[in-house]
């Protein structure tokens, strides 16, 4: 099927008034089936010319609206000044990092997100709290971060500020008047870099974290998520993706499986109920701490996590003769040394998870020296955007 066929260009009315300006949902004007066709063709095009590949399939998202469990909104001042308007709160349009789109609606988080933005704008104007100006490097309000569990009732609001000096009691009241937050925090980011990452936090209400669950056909796993924890942004889609890996692991009857680039342990903990033992590796020490804490939360004593680069520790782990290794590298793909170790020491099975079709194609070519690709499945975690995840089962020749 060509990239210009009717199935991939079937038009529909964009639901959001900001479509075309926001830049976030670039495919929102295509019917969902057409989006899936486009994404499948995108991956197929990247893999074109590779011999012996199985048929590529794609699994759609269980929920195509209100699916995101994390959103980051930015504050900005109004320039040139407009009478009666104090600040903007919303998204940065694609390629225009010094501008703020004053967001009136968004259909990716929960329906309560838009009323929350309006309430926070009203609060800031009433309290005369200045938005941060990235040109002048001054102002207090920088970002508003939401983390919304989809399988529990827990929700987090983080107000990222420059100093934390703002009316906190009235902020909490403003949030709770329209939004069912179970925990509210103030973060402080005094750095020049304009990111939603805080150096420190003050908990205003609740515990400072939320608990999310991933539910599978044969069990569930709980994850305690703090403000800086990594967690896939589509909970229901992640259940599909990790569920495939869990099913494959159970089919393999793996006694030992490695989770390389394990992050906060999302995949490792999902596989623990289907394997004898899972060992995760991650270079980010904060993510390793999250993984260990969540293993304890779920009473999973068959998970171990190590803080190290994959390329450094991988040869020692492969000496343990695992039945399989899950590879979920950053967008750039496998480190060359890690790819070499996998080829040289070749565990029987690799499960490769990729968010970048081009990096996937390059790595599959490199691994093809020792492996054949038996299964290829695309999973849509990001409806209305051009992003897609792909998972492959590779078997040693």
User: Among all residues, which ones are annotated catalytic?
Assistant: 355
CB 239 within 8 A of CB 231: no
CB 245 within 8 A of CB 267: yes
Q: Where are the beta strands (DSSP E) in the chain?
A: 56-59, 70-77, 87-91, 101-102, 141-148, 155-161, 183-188, 200-205, 210-216, 219-225, 256-260, 277-282, 303-307, 324-327, 349-354, 371-379, 389-396
End-to-end CA distance of the chain: 31
Residue 325 backbone phi and psi in degrees, to 5 = -135, 135
CB 221 within 8 A of CB 245: no
Nearest-angstrom CA–CA distance, 382 and 356: 13
Torsion over CA of 252, 232, 273 and 247, rounded to 10 degrees? -30
Structure token digits, residue 95: 């390629």
């Amino acid at each position: 099927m060509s990239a210009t066929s009717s199935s991939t260009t079937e038009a529909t009315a964009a639901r959001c008034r900001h479509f075309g300006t926001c830049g976030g949902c670039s495919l929102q004007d295509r019917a969902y089936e057409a989006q899936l066709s486009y994404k499948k063709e995108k991956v197929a095009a990247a893999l074109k010319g590779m011999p012996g590949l199985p048929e590529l399939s794609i699994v759609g998202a269980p929920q195509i609206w209100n699916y995101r469990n994390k959103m980051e909104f930015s504050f900005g001042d109004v320039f040139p000044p407009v009478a009666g308007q104090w600040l903007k709160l919303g998204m940065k349009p694609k390629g225009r990092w010094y501008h703020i789109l004053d967001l009136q609606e968004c259909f990716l988080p929960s329906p309560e997100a838009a009323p929350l933005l309006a309430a926070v704008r009203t609060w800031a104007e009433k309290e005369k709290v200045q938005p941060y100006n990235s040109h002048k490097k001054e102002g207090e309000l920088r970002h508003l971060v939401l983390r919304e569990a989809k399988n529990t009732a827990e929700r987090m609001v983080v107000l990222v500020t420059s100093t934390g000096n703002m009316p906190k009691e009235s902020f909490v009241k403003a949030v709770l008047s329209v939004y069912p937050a179970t925990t509210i925090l103030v973060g402080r980011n005094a750095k020049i870099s304009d990111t939603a990452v805080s150096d420190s936090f003050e908990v205003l209400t609740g515990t400072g974290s939320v608990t999310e669950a991933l539910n599978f056909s044969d069990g569930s796993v709980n994850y305690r998520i703090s403000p800086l924890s990594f967690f896939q942004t589509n909970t229901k889609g992640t259940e599909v993706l990790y569920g495939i890996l869990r099913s494959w692991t159970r089919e393999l009857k793996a006694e030992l499986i490695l989770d390389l680039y394990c992050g906060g342990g999302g995949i490792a903990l999902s596989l623990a109920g289907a394997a004898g033992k899972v060992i995760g590796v991650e270079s980010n020490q904060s993510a390793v701490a999250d993984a260990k804490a969540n293993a304890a939360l779920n009473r999973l004593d068959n998970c171990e996590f190590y803080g190290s680069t994959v390329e450094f520790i991988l040869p020692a782990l492969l000496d343990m003769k695992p039945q399989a290794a899950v590879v979920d590298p950053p967008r750039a793909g496998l480190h060359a040394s890690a790819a070499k170790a996998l080829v040289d020491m070749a565990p029987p099975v690799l499960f490769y998870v990729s968010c970048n079709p081009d990096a996937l194609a390059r790595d599959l070519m490199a691994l093809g020296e020792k492996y054949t690709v038996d299964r290829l499945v695309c999973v849509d975690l990001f409806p209305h955007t051009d992003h897609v995840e792909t998972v492959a089962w590779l078997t040693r020749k």
